[in-house]
Every structure is written in structure tokens, then in C-alpha cells.
Amino acid sequence: MSRKIRVLVAKPGLDGHDRGAKVIARALRDAGMEVIYTGLRQTPEMIATAALQEDVDAVGISILSGAHNTLCPRIVSLLREKGMDDCLVIVGGIIPQEDIPHLKELGIGAVFLPGTSTEDIIVFLRENVRPRN
Amino acid sequence: MPEIKERNSLEHAADERWEQETLAPVLQKRSERKQRFTTVSLDEVERLYTPADTTDIDFPEDIAYPGEFPYTRGIHPTGYRGKLWTMRQFAGFGTPEETNKRFKYLTQQGQTGLSVAYDLPTLMGYDADSPLAEGEVGKCGVAVSSLADMETLFDGIPLDQVTVSQTINAPASVLLAMYLVVAEKQGADWSKISGTLQNDILKEYIAQKEWIYPIRPAMKLVIDTFEFCTRHAPRYNPISVSGYHIREAGATALQELAFTLRDGIEYVEWGIRAGLPVDQFVPRISFFFNAHNDFFEEIAKYRAARRIWARVMRDRFGAHDPRSMQLRFHTQTAGVSLTVQQPLNNIIRVAIQALAGVLGGTNSLHTDAYDEALALPSDQAALIALRTQQIIAEETGVANTVDPLGGSYFIEALTKKMEDATLDYFAKIDAMGGMVASVEKGFPQREIQESAYQYQKAVERGEQTIVGVNCYQMPQESGHIQLLVIDEGVRDHQVERLHQTRLRRDQGAVANRLEHLKQAAHKGENTMPATIEAVRAYATLGEICTALREIYGEYEEPPF
């Protein structure tokens, strides 16, 4: 039996809007994944370190403050520096359409906007997390 | 009272007759669209409301007349016939210069009050040059790090003539100090200035999560502002007890109402414990509610809020001044209800939510812009939001009569239900030792998380329908809307300005006054006078909050 998908749900920056992060964390858990929630106000360094320590398959960044263009690329590059090249990074929150292509070029696997069904996120993770032994 | 009992049974008998003779044959032919009809809070709504649903409501006791206890029908006897609600659009982005320009633009377009949105570093008590502020300066609101920024923000805006609402909580006492000093520099008399500070720290721990210090010292800072304003700025509202964020975080309408009013009770208790006479400070406590999608539920919520507060103030606190019993509130349409999908539809949502606020008797109103699920409002979107209020006020006729829905069987039954259920929550929270203790235990936080999750599940099961999201979707979104973009240049500009401010000031005076503030905090004195002196010397927001952090420590949220 393959191991459960492990996901770090992360809230970077000063943003305190955690409704989405908590709903997603619970939905992923209900879908059988192992979920670690960072809590609020994490720096990119703290998030990358937690991802490494927890040996997660995916990091889900929740951000509604408009600081995504600064914080998301930094998280991705720190994960790569730590050798977590296979770790899938997805983002959810208030992200203008115009910013999405750029975020994807920098290594963000998907950007989920308000109104996304938790089921879509679950399916995306199941289909895109690299299988490990 | 046998007479009333007989009437009740007659009313029930009449309902039964209708159900058997008229309703049953129709239901036999065709069932209703759903098994269960619910509000957006997942609360069941009956098919029909009749006099039988209002038999436990007493007209003179529970509904009464506007301008009279318990104020269910409003605090003004003339409703909006005397004065319309204040149209107060929340605005703030980028630099103080840019927001100052937006304020002047909105005022020229007929807006009647100002409302400042600060950026996240300001809300968290960090200066623009703090490493933690990177990527956040000017994004969610205007960046204010010192008195110099505040002077620019209100340049050419006379603070003794305009009422300004400031959405600031953890560092609220500092921003109040900056505001008072700017007013003084403009030549305004503090005793004449009016306006509102949000300053509701309880809801930060409950929902909005922008805290700095641990709960109890943070409460002490709130009470310091009560004391100070009661003495020096008696027309200023030092708090706006806010349900808005509680609702946005996922609470039901009932939870929003119950937690907000119980927060209000907590502030009154702390004020009394600090030695403030009830009728001196409670009249300046104001409230702030959400206007969500479910039209009637929202209207009932506002009406219940007024009735509950009036009774609590009279019966629990022994208030005598009617102004202590009159709940005044601001309303904002529900940001969380706005959709990214087919964003122009948001204009309609906002209009209907705003109408609920007006029919509920709001004292001031903010209407969201249609593009807010995507970014901060553009000029055009902000203007449509303001025009929405003007259309409701000037064209629809809803402001012609007071509490037009009063007496509706449905509205009155729902108002009563909200009141009863709120009192149940009060009993639970009282039993836990009050709101501070309940928040420390994570009670309201867990209640809200649960509701948020249940709502999301209801949407995903299709029980809650959202046009464009889980029905009437369009595969390819057409049309492009122009969004407001805040570039990183804002941070550079603000950092440079802060640098200039630091160069120009008397460093010795700053150090001295920060030390005074720490001493005041340490001794448990009122911190407002020392905060004002620090602000006058151009100590920055970050420096002042750091000084207080050294005394009070910082809050860490336990996992709930």
C-alpha cells in the first residue's frame, strides 16, 4: 500500500485570513491525507524548513494579502535549495489572473482562486504528487 | 391569561385548516423544490409564517416604536426621513498621498464619511522597513509608519468637520494618538472631533487574527482609550465592536450576532472594572456588522441586535442614559460572498446585501466593490459601489418610512429566534467565565471553524447555490476587468520617507518618550498620554509597538 500523501498547509506573511487554510486542511484530512498546518505568520524560511522536517509531498500556500509575488517564489526557491525538487507547491487565495502565468513559470504547480471546490484540490493533489515508496 | 391562550389556539387552528384544505392538495400534485429550505447560515426556514408564529412576541415590549426602548425598530424616531445613513466607503492603498487622493475623490462624489484601510504591516505594528513588511507595504491598505504619514494622509481634510473611521486594532491606541495630534496641528479641538476607532481586539483573537500582545494587556490598551476619550474626546467612538470579521471567518449570522454582542458586554465589564461609570462610556461604543446574502436573516439580525443590547444595558448593567441602550452600527457587505467567477454579478449581490443593511436600520454603510475577490478596488469599481448606495437612498423609496418590515410575521419570528439563541450563547460564555476566558479556551474560534467547514460542504453538495460557482457556470470566462495594481515601488517610497523622518527628529526625545511609555505600561497606568508624547516626537509605529512588546510580550495562538 502506498503511503498517504503528506501536505503542509502554510500561511506566509502577515496575512491573518485563515478560514480557507483551515477548511482546506480539514478537507484534505477527511480525504485521507496527512496534513500539517503551520499556523499564521510564517516566513518563507520557516515554511521551507517545516516542509523538509515533515517530509511532505506538497505545500499548499494560502495567501490573501497581495504579497504572493514576493513570498511564493521565495518559498519555491528555498524548497529547491533544500533539495525538495519533487515537492509540489500549490497556492490558493486572492490572486489576480495576470499574476498566475508568472507564478507557474516560477514553479507553482497550480493556483486556486476563491470558489474552488475542495474536491478539485484533492483530485489535483492525487494526480500530481510524485509517487514515493 | 386565558384570553391569549384561546387566541393562540385559534391561530393554530386557522393554520391547520389552511394546511389541510389549501396546501395539502397542492403538495400532493407537486412537491416543493427542496425537502428543506435553509438560510445561508444553514438554518431552516418554514414554508409560511402567520400570526401563530408571533404569539410569544409582545408588541409594546418587544417591538414598540422607533426611538423607544428596546429600539427593535431603530434608534431614531424618524428613521432615514431625518438623515440618511452615512455612506462610508472603506478605502486605503499604497502611499498616504494616493489614499489622500482617493478620499478626496470619494468625497467629491458625495460620500459622507471617510474610512481608512491600513496595510498589514501597520495593522501588525511594523514599520514599512521591517523585514516582515516585505511584499506587504501598501497592499491591503495604506502604509502608515509615523505621524509624518498621518499628516499626509489627512492633508486638506479638516478633521473637525469630517468623521473618520479607522480600521485598526492591535496598535489602535497609537493610530488614535497620531490622529489626535494631526487634528491638533490642524487647529481642531479634541472635544469637537468625531469618528470611530475599530479597536476591537477580542475579534482579532476570535477571527481576524491581527494581534500583537497577549489578550489581557491588549484589553487594557482598549480600556486606556475608553478612559482617555471619555475625558478628552467625548464625541469620539473609541471602539467599533465588530461582527464583520467573525462572519467573514465563517460564522453563521447567529454566531456573528452572539459573539459580537458578548464581546460588547466584555468591554463594558472591563470599563466598569476600571472605574468608568456606565453611562459615561457606553454611549460611545459602536458596532459593526456584516451584510451577507440571506436577506431576511440579516434584517432580523440587526433588529435583534438593537433589542438585545438595549435589554442587556438596562438589565445587566443598570444603565439609565437611553444612549447607552441605543445600539448604533456600521454595516459592510460581505466580502466573502463575492465571486471571482463572472465578477460583474457581484454588483447585484452588493446591492441586495446593502438593501438588507438599510432595511435593518444601519447607521452607516460600506458597499464592497465588485472586483474585491480579485484585488483592491479600482476607481471605477469603487465608484459603482458608492453609486449603489445612492440609488438605494434616492430611487427606491425604502428610506421613506421607518422599519418597513416591522410586523412581518417572518421578520418578527426570526428576530425573536435570533434573540433567544443569542441569549443561549451568552449563558454558555458566561459559564466559561466571560469572553476573554472563552477566547483563551478557543470556544468561539472552534464554533466558527466548524460553521465554515459545514458551509463549504453544503456548497460542494449543491445545497447552497452560488451563481457562477456551482450553478450557471461559464466554462470560458470572457471579459477582462481592469484591476488596481500596487507595485513594489510603494515600499521603496515609504522606506525612504521613514528614513527622512528618522533623520529630522530629535533622537534623544524619542528615546526618552519611549522609555516613559514603557514605564507607564509597566506600572499599569493609562498609556495614552505617553503614547501621544511619543507620537509627537515622531517615534514610529514600529518603535512604539516594540516598546510595548517588551513590557507585555507577544501573543502566540495555541492550536485550536
- The three cell numbers locating residue B538: 515622531
Query: Within a domain: residue A1?
Result: no
Per-residue pLDDT tens digits for A73-125: 999 999 999 999 999 999 999 998 899 999 999 999 999 999 999 999 999 99
CB contact under 8 A, B456 and A27: yes
Task: Return d(Cα B287, Cα B243) in angstroms, integer.
Answer: 8
Select from B210, B445, B472, B541 the residue whose CB has the most chain A CBs within 10 Å, as the one to mutate to test that interface: B210
Q: What's the mean pLDDT in B72-100?
A: 95
Residue contact A40–B209, C-beta within 8 A: yes
Res B2: pLDDT: 45
- What is the reported pLDDT for B479? 55
- In angstroms, the CA B245 to CA B251 distance is 9
pLDDT at B8 over 80: no
pLDDT band at A133 (very low <50, low <70, confident <90, very high): low
pLDDT at B1 over 50: no
User: C-alpha angle with apex B356: B352 to B362, nearest 5 degrees?
Assistant: 130
Question: What is the rounded distance in angstroms from the CA atom of residue A46 to the CA atom of residue B524?
Answer: 35
Residue pLDDT, tens place only, B184-199: 999 999 999 999 999 9
Is A82 inside a domain boundary?
yes
| B472 φ, ψ (degrees, to nearest 5) | 50, 40
Q: Is the pLDDT of residue B455 over 60?
A: yes
Using an 8 Å Cβ cutoff, are B531 and B416 in contact?
no
The answer on pLDDT for B5 being more than 90 is: no
Mean pLDDT of B307-316: 98
* Residue in chain A lying closest to B204 (CA): A16
Over residues B444-457, mean pLDDT: 97
Question: Cell digits for B442?
Answer: 478557543
Place of cell 435589554: B311
Minimal Cα distance from A43: which residue of B? B132
Q: B480 to each of A96, B383, B477, B483, how far by Cα in Å?
A: 11, 18, 9, 9
- Over residues B125-140, the mean pLDDT reads 94
Q: Give residues 323 to 362 of B whose Cβ lies within 8 Å of A.
A: 336, 338-341
Q: Could you tell me what percent of chain B has a pLDDT over 90? A: 91
Total domain count for chain A? 1
CA distance B273 to chain A (A): 31
- Please name the residues in contact with B187: beta carbons below 8 A apart, sequence gap of 6 or more: none
- In the sheet that holds B329-333, the strands lie side by side as B236-237, B195-197, B164-167, B113-117, B86-91, B364-366, B329-333, B285-291, B239-242
Candidates B167, B203, B340, B472, partner chain A, best to mutate (most A CBs within 10 A):
B340
Q: Report percent pLDDT > 70 for chain B.
A: 98
Q: How far is CA B526 from the centre of its chain?
A: 26
Contacts of A94 in chain B (CB under 8 A): 373-375
**For B9-58, what is each residue's pLDDT tens digit?**
888 999 999 999 999 999 999 999 999 999 999 999 999 999 999 999 99
Q: What is the pLDDT of residue B383?
A: 94
In CATH terms, the fold of domain B60-460 is: TIM Barrel (3.20.20)
CA distance B204 to B120: 13
Asked if residue B160 lies in contact with residue B193, where contact means CB atoms within 8 angstroms, the answer is yes
Write down the ipTM of this complex.
Answer: 0.92
pLDDT digits (tens, 9 = 90+) for B526-553: 999 999 999 999 999 999 999 999 999 9
Q: Are strands A58-63 and A88-93 parallel, antiparallel or unpaired?
A: parallel
CB of A20 closer than 8 Å to CB of A62: yes
Question: Do the Cβ atoms of A115 and B488 come within 8 Å?
Answer: no
In a domain, A133, yes or no: no
Q: In what order do the strands lie in the sheet with A110-112?
A: A34-37, A6-10, A58-63, A88-93, A110-112
pLDDT averaged over every residue in chain B: 95
CA-to-CA separations, B425 to B312, B327, B463, in angstroms, rounded: 14, 19, 27
Q: How many other β-carbons are positioned within 10 Å of the β-carbon of residue A94?
A: 22
pLDDT at B373: 87
Which of B140, B469, B559 is facing A65, going by the closest CB pair? B140
What is the span of the domain harbouring residue A108? 6-128
For residue A64, what is the domain's CATH number?
3.40.50.280
CA-based angle B371:B375:B377, to the nearest 5?
55
Task: Give CA–CA dist B329/B347, Å, rounded.
Answer: 23
Looking at residue A27, its pLDDT comes to 97
Judged by a CB distance cut-off of 8 A, whether residue B249 touches chain A is yes
Burial annotation B492-524 (CB, 10 A radius, 16+ → b, else e): ebbbebbeebbeebeeeebeebbebbbebbeee
Domains in chain B: boundaries = 60-460, 489-552
Which chain B residues are closer than 8 Å to A17 by Cβ? Answer: 209, 249
The alpha carbon of residue B340 is apart from the nearest alpha carbon of chain A, in Å, by: 6
Q: Which residues of B touch A96 (CB under 8 A)?
A: 374-375, 483, 485
Which residues of chain A lie closer than 8 angstroms to B452, CB-CB? 19, 22-23
For residue B75, which amino acid is it? I
State the burial class of residue B78 (Cβ atoms within 10 Å of its Cβ: 0-12, 13-18, 19+): exposed
